[in-house]
Amino acid sequence: MKNQMIFQRYESKYLMTLSQQQTVLAAMEPYMEPDVYSHSSIRNLYLDTPDFRLIRRSLERPVYKEKLRIRSYGRAENTDMVFVELKKKYRSVVYKRRISLPQDQALACFSKTRPWPDSQIGTELAYAADFYQTLRPAVFLSYERDAFHGTEDEDLRVTFDTEIRYRQDGLSLDSDTRGIPILPPGLVLMELKVAGGLPLWMAHVLSCQGIFKTSFSKYGAAYQNILLAGRRGDRKYT
């Protein structure tokens, strides 16, 4: 799945306790198995304008919205390969396009000191960068992820994210994962990714556990925390 470059699917998010997660994992056993890369320490650099135009627009819940980020699965030095991703959402369908570049080249493309790769996805990223003009790394966001896919339907994916943290300094994927926690202790974010409808067995366990779909956004939550911290003049990393 890490090597896939084009995605089109429905994504749903659910917040749950550790106890509820164990119940969901037990229900998943007959239908799902861990990905080849079952556990990842994911690091992201979210690109935005100085006035946070992209995330402000996203939080308005428009029919169409998009995000740009640079992602690595683990610590990445400047010359290590990372993913540059353009994530779009239109009428509940998520479209993700990405290319793999060395981290320093990816940052240079956004700063307009190097050209984007001559490819379809490179052209789409170049258009987005030109459209927003002043994109720069705005937030570092990391989390620990456990990923599963369906045994019969590999388009069915479930991920569990914990230790979700963000910061506004040290904006590089080769640094540590210190940052401000987004979720209270003991909460897990589950993301369900499907090409079609929700499997009945999953719908049943979620209903029985009282787990309901949420519109939670990691970058959105980080941005809202940044606004609140700015009002308080407070910043604390752990």
pLDDT in tens, 100-144: 999 999 999 999 999 999 999 999 999 999 999 999 999 999 999
Q: Quick one: fold of 6-232? A: mRNA Triphosphatase Cet1; Chain A (3.20.100)
pLDDT in tens, 15-65: 999 999 999 999 999 999 999 878 999 999 999 999 999 999 999 989 999
Residue % of the chain over a pLDDT of 90: 82
Mean pLDDT of 185-191: 96
Mean pLDDT of 65-71: 96
> Does the pLDDT at position 223 exceed 80?
yes
* pLDDT score recorded for residue 97: 93
Total Cβ atoms within 10 A of residue 101: 21
Mean pLDDT of 173-188: 93
Alpha carbon distance 107, 122 (integer Å): 14
* pLDDT score recorded for residue 236: 52
Assess contact for 52 and 138: CB atoms under 8 A.
yes
DSSP 9-46: EEEEEEEEEHHHHHHHHHHHTTTEEEEEEEEEEEEEEE
Alpha carbon distance 46, 213 (integer Å): 24
> Does the pLDDT at position 69 exceed 70?
yes
Residues 6 or more apart from 101 whose CB is under 8 A from it?
81, 82, 84, 109, 117
* pLDDT score recorded for residue 29: 97
In whole numbers, what is the pLDDT of the chain averaged over residues? 92
Reduced to 3 states, what is the DSSP secondary structure of residue 26? helix
**Main-chain phi, psi angles of 16, to 5 degrees:** -150, 165
Report CA dihedral (42, 92, 64, 5) to the nearest 10 degrees: 40
Q: Where are the domains of the chain?
A: 6-232
Mean pLDDT of 165-192: 94
* pLDDT score recorded for residue 42: 96
Total Cβ atoms within 10 A of residue 215: 9
Assess contact for 164 and 141: CB atoms under 8 A.
yes
The DSSP bridge partners found for residue 93 are 10, 90
**Main-chain phi, psi angles of 208, to 5 degrees:** -65, -35
9 pLDDT band, cuts 50/70/90, is: confident
> Does the pLDDT at position 237 exceed 60?
no
